[in-house]
A and B are shown apart, each in its own frame.
Chain A
């Protein structure tokens, strides 16, 4: 009985704490801080105060007259740290398994728009296009596809390449193989492997093939020159956006307006090209105002 009461009390306290930490634009302005939830990932958040998303959010914090604060998180907790809901994904559907404290106001780390995430959080206007590529070790017998200028056909051809192959992915991220309906592919999930490690895992020989998003692939190609190869794409274009709580509609509106201004001024393109030089070769729209 005592334990049940304690559990209920903890649950209620948790809820109270979570609701106390919810912050829409007015609360953020009153607190004087914009809390940026970020997972160090590719060139979006480098973890040392740099990165594309870090710079964008610093500019936004400045534009609304508050100080910027970085709150480091990880892929397992990032959605919960924003929404206050710890979720698990089953069959592409999120299930809330616990209430957790809210630690930040906005997620910025190259967060791909995925349907299950959209059920828990809102997204800003997309600011970065994305495609999921298949990356293999350089010595893999698989040969890259010949591009057809039609992404849909390229995707079909790439998917054929993966038939009956072990492919490394990471659950509950944009490289979760279950998201892409890959038939006849044997998904491999390794304990402790994060998005930042996928290319390194390939290079070390612990896996032969993996999937990576374009921004991370670009970083990996520069980091491991000649040691990995891109076989093709398994998705058509996706979007990346900043994650915003469903309870912060004013923040979303204000941030979207800021992003639109950043884009029209050309500053967004400048930042994109700074952190991802050559990205315009894959997504020419990033230079559009």
Chain B
């Protein structure tokens, strides 16, 4: 009788120990899962932050680049040399009789702007084109800058 009770107690003890171990395992597992969740959440947040920062950086660079191009456009549109060319053309002057002077002045202006606008050691402006009947400053890859007629 005593043996039976003793065996029963031993069995219960093992059951309890097993349950305790199991509970501990579940708890540990839960903790690990929780930590994993927290970590992945942190990673997602960090990635999100990084993405936002990178995107903002790119947007800032793009903003600055476009700002510079706007400034280039302003320089060109406010330049007397270019308006003079179109004015002379509107007066009926031909390239043979005087218009070439303003055309050359305009090309010079294009060249100066093109040479002055450099990004990372490279010319930022490949072409500067002024209307279909005017002229084009180009900087084609694998070729030198040349004046071309558009």
Contacts and interface: CB of A to CB of B under 8 A. Distances in A.
B97 A221 contact: no
Contacts of A144: 91-94, 97
A212 to B, nearest CB: 10
Contacts of B102: 221, 225
A229 interface: yes
Contacts of A145: 94, 97
Interface residues of A, number: 23
Given A222-B105, A225-B84, A133 B94 contact: no
Given A221-B98, A229-B91, A278-B104, 17 more contacts: A133-B98, A143-B92, A144-B93, A145-B94, A147-B96, A218-B101, A221-B101, A221-B102, A222-B101, A222-B105, A225-B87, A226-B83, A230-B93, A278-B101, A281-B95, A281-B100, A281-B104
> Per DSSP, are chain B's interface residues mostly helix, strand or loop, or mixed?
helix
Closest A-B pairs by Cβ, 7 of them: A230-B98, A147-B96, A225-B84, A230-B97, A281-B100, A278-B104, A226-B87
A226 B97 CA distance: 14
Contacts of A226: 83-84, 87-88
Nearest to A225: B84
16 contacts: A138-B91, A143-B92, A144-B93, A147-B95, A154-B96, A221-B88, A225-B80, A225-B84, A226-B83, A226-B84, A229-B91, A278-B100, A278-B101, A278-B104, A281-B100, A282-B96
A175 B120 CA distance: 54
